[in-house]
Amino acid sequence: MLLTIDIGNTNIVVALFKNEVIFSTWRLFTDTRRTGDEYGSMLTSLLQDDGIDLKEIDFCVVSSVVPVLIGAFVGLIERKTGKKPVVINPSIFPLLPVRVPETAVHEIGSDLLCNAVEAFCRYKSACIVVDFGTALTFTAVGATGDLLGIAITPGLGTARNSLFEDTAQLPSIPLEAPPTSLGTNTIHSIQAGIVLGYKSLVEGLVQQMKQDIAAQTGVKESDIKVVATGGLNSVLKPLTDIFQDVDKSFTLCGLCRIATILKDKGVS
């Protein structure tokens, strides 16, 4: 079995794959104050509750955008499984089918790299991956495997929380579409601004990226696929038709894809 760990700013997603298919997943809150021992105890309990023997794990891979937690998870995986996990970092980039520009090698988030690799391997065409997480990210990949560029903006939840935390009278509201853009109460007004505003942001930025990809590579805009992933993609999914595919597990699949490539190349 393959153990993948995706450490994000808000959540840590742990997934087990059997034959490149997700077998089980667990979600933990990201807390930099927790030690490796604490996370190890939690992870062990989750695996044991599902009747999973840690000895069955033969490969482990970690993606993290929270550097302070990498060491803790590497240590706990080694202790619990006896396997040293592979950490997604620039040293493995040359082994992957996606080419990262020199200017981005030491800056690209490992989650975005996973999205880029999965997009190229799955579609074999130019693609934009829109990832609805703590940050809302747009990752553009060319038809020949070049990472063309990335756009980043605060995520929907981040925008909502910032508005709630930094104002005296505005409440925290559910992220759902209001009846109309003409809000007549505080909740509907905020939903109009954030949910409908982000709909326009996503549609507008995707269209601009398609134009830029077409100008740079010569591919037709109509041939560029757009896929949505991330926990909050369901907020905008019913409101727009720009996504050809929606896969909440896209980043995890990319992590699995990278692990398979590395195993085939003898990395351990």
Q: What is the DSSP string of 53-86?
A: -GGG--EEEEEES-GGGHHHHHHHHHHHHS-PPE
* Whole-number pLDDT of residue 170: 76
CA dist 176 and 192 (Å) reads 9
Of 6, 111, 131, 146, the active-site residue reads: 111
Write down the pTM of the prediction: 0.93
* Whole-number pLDDT of residue 83: 87
Q: Is residue 247 flagged as an active site residue?
A: no
Residue 225's contacts (CB-CB under 8 Å, 6 or more residues apart) are: 119, 123, 125, 126, 127, 128, 244, 245
Structure tokens at 173: 């509201």
* Whole-number pLDDT of residue 234: 84
* Whole-number pLDDT of residue 267: 84
Q: What are phi and psi of 150, to 5 degrees?
A: -140, 140
Largest Cα–Cα separation, the chain: 61
Q: How far is CA 20 from CA 1, 3, 78, 121, 260, in A?
A: 9, 11, 22, 14, 8
* Whole-number pLDDT of residue 165: 82
Alpha helices of the chain — where are they, by DSSP H? 36-49, 70-81, 110-123, 156-165, 186-191, 197-217, 233-236, 250-264
Helix (H) or strand (E) holding 136: strand 135-141
Bridge partners (DSSP) listed for residue 132: 136
Mean pLDDT for back-to-back runs of 10 residues, the chain (268 residues): 92 92 91 90 85 84 94 90 92 95 93 97 96 95 96 93 80 89 94 94 97 97 96 85 94 95 86
* Whole-number pLDDT of residue 265: 86
* Whole-number pLDDT of residue 249: 93
* Whole-number pLDDT of residue 204: 97
